[in-house]
Structure 1
Amino acid sequence: MVDSLSTALNLAFTGPLAGTRALEGVIITGGKGTRMRNITYVLPKPLLPLFSFNSDGRRYVKPFIDFILERFEALGLDPVTLVFSRNSSLIIDYLGSRGPLRLRLRLVLDAEMRGYGNAALLARSSVTGPFVLNADDNILPLEDYRAGVELFEAEGPDAVLFVHRVEDPTRYGVIAPSSQGEFRGYRTYGVRGVVEKPSKPPSDLAMAAIYVMSPRVFRALEEVKALKGEGEEIELVEGLQRLIEEGGNVMALELRRRWVSVGRPEDYLEAIRLSYEAGL
């Protein structure tokens, strides 16, 4: 059923382009949402409701994935690849009834569900050039996305990461910075390593699950996958570390405020507050 829905959705959402920028977009959905149970047994994270504002200032409620899609539209990312699992039928149903998008949407099925890195690798069949990769439970202010894209275009690295200083870096993926710079009012870093939830963090700079990348990351992820056992999960951080070890140029842009997340109950509560008070 999901396969037939994906074909219909792809046809329904092919429309006028949002811009001429060469970058594409990738959204990874279909995770298990274990940190947001029990609600994610019946409602996937991308459909969790938040507040927004009409043009006349009145509040209304919309699902989280709309905030991601609207940012991608504003950035001119096109096409956008949505990597989904067979647990994502509600997301597909919603997108099919949502109304037209100002971008082309391509769907790629993740039948293996072997982690964020493997889901990103599956997008390789659809992606043709540099892209913005976004988890289904994180967003940034639009100006931060723009700064990351502009840094990628200006400096030409293999990847740009978005980072923010946190009190407990053992809960996050963290970078090991090698140098510090500045780009349009943002602090930037060269990255000599990345590690997921380290017991001894190399810094307090935690990564958002949002990246600007060149297709070179796919080769690194493929090499990581070749070393894994059957069914073993592949994390994107492993691919980034492999890319760095092979001489890839990875940079980080420090955010002025933490990304918005619906990945944990405390994060979702804060997202509700922010969206109700001022919008996202």
Structure 2
Amino acid sequence: MSAAEAGGVFRRARGRTLDAFLSEKEREWKGPFYFIQGADPQFGLMKAWSTGDSDSGGDEWGQEIRLTEQAVEAINKLKPKPKFFVLCGDLIHAMPGMPWRKEQTADLQRVLARVDRDIPLVLVSGNHDVGNTPTPETVAEFQRTWGDDYFSFWVGGVLFLVLNSQFWYDASRCPALKQAQDQWLDQQLRVAGRRHCQHAIVFQHIPLFLRSIDEDDDYFNLTKSVRKEVANKLTRAGRDPGPQGLAGRWRGGFQILLPPPAAWRRVEKMGIWTQLGSVPSPAPHRQCGLGQAAWPSQPQCTHL
């Protein structure tokens, strides 16, 4: 599927927003709703991980295709329909400039094209999507293929912010892009304050922290100096960086910026795709899992 064809299927973020939702209409609370989050489909990782060649392997991704097809089928059957399906990177395994990148992208787009068109897709970049050290060229490629790498949108009175966390990991080759996102985030937080936003949620690939803001630096979190800088930014805006949500050890977590209502609680479930770290094995009849978050009702998890 070409980028032009994908543009006709995915309502990709443009102009730092997602036009699937009209902000003026969605800024007011109208009642409980829920959304679905998936993380790290990373087409090609399963083969690479199993062979111990996670850096350059990944010439097969049939298993990822099957699991993603099952996830899409399950999401399309949900009643009532979720407000949206957010898919956090890594979207594919092949890094920029590596073999199989074009093919992995085409197959993921083909499967995602089957998502019910009444369920908007929200796509979040990961390090394999823009590179461990992103450049203006790799970010531009992501934008052409999947849409803006950072943007905001309102749903049901909640402000959602999608960020490119690689800028906080290593922006040495694109400092101007990092500065632009930082300034944009400051502006978004000011808007949230002026509109007396009660709840805001951030989606990003690398979470600030997994358990505690003072935890040691790890592959799965941002460095302590960076996470505290970002947390201070949120605190100055009158917000609490809050618990890391849904993703657990997935690099694709989101954090709640404002203290959530009592009914909201953290959910950690196994991923749809490759399992990293210590996670329970699925029961024989369960092939993969999805995080299903309801706001403000108590979240549940749907097993496929």
TM-score by length of 2: 0.38
Higher helix share: 1
Higher strand share: 1
TM-score by length of 1: 0.41
